[in-house]
Amino acid sequence: MFDFRDHSVLVTGAGAGIGLGIAQAFHQAGARVALGDLHEPGLARAAERLGGSERVFTHPVDVRDGRSVADFVQATERAIGPVTVAVANAGVYPNAPVLDMTTEEWDRVIETNLRGVFLTCQAVARRMVAEGMPGKLITISSGAYNSGRKGAAHYCASKAGVVMFTKVLAMELGAHRINVNCIAPGLVTVERNVNEVSEEVVRAIVATIPWGRPGSPEDIAHAALFLASPFAEFITGEVLSVDGGSGTGRTYLPYSGPTRR
């Protein structure tokens, strides 16, 4: 059982899906949690899901905008205290083939998924360093960082960028005792991507998962709790795949040797 009663945890993209699952897990572990999201109605519903506790703070944030991110961090500190754990989760998941993709579509994904992680981690890390306070930064990538998918060049590129950003930031913040790690989810069933991934694709992906099912926000949240805990004190710059084994290799191939009786 993880105990985060003395922690203030900031989560972006927390209005639904993985972000909400992470916020719920930290809240259940006793933390004060700050939920940031671009969609204010989602934030209101998320706060209700967490029971309207005084340990819950919500604030609209556009992770693409440095001023908006800084305002969120400052407002969080005023409301629930200095941030000790931050999860840069906000992201978008559209589909478009490269030949048809507009510059605007490319920019939206890169700015949200990669620039947003940079701005969130930078803003929180600056506060931690200024206060001389150790902390935990967790970024959310995807199995797409090392496994491409047709129609998702912008998404895959952004998630690969998140991984390398995480590694470099871990190098830079090690002397400040700030751990920086990345979670790479596989297929996760969430509310927002219902219409963004076809049933055909979902079935094809599930068939390659040794565990035999899609992931859930709770699966990702459990990984976040571990990485933010004292048990992960000597882990930094790492990518933790939470994918039911789908990243192990060409799981769709049959047994490669002769059949044994």
**Catalytic one of 145, 155, 252, 255:** 155
DSSP code for 188: B
Angle at 21 between CA 221 and CA 190, to 5 degrees: 110
- Quick check: 203 and 197 in contact, CB under 8 A? no
Tokens for 254, please give them: 């049959």
106 contacts: CB under 8 Å, gap ≥ 6: 154
Integer-rounded Cα Rg, in Å, for the chain is 18
**Is 155 noted as a catalytic residue in this protein?**
yes
How many CB atoms are located within 10 Å of the residue 178 CB? 22
| Catalytic residue list | 155
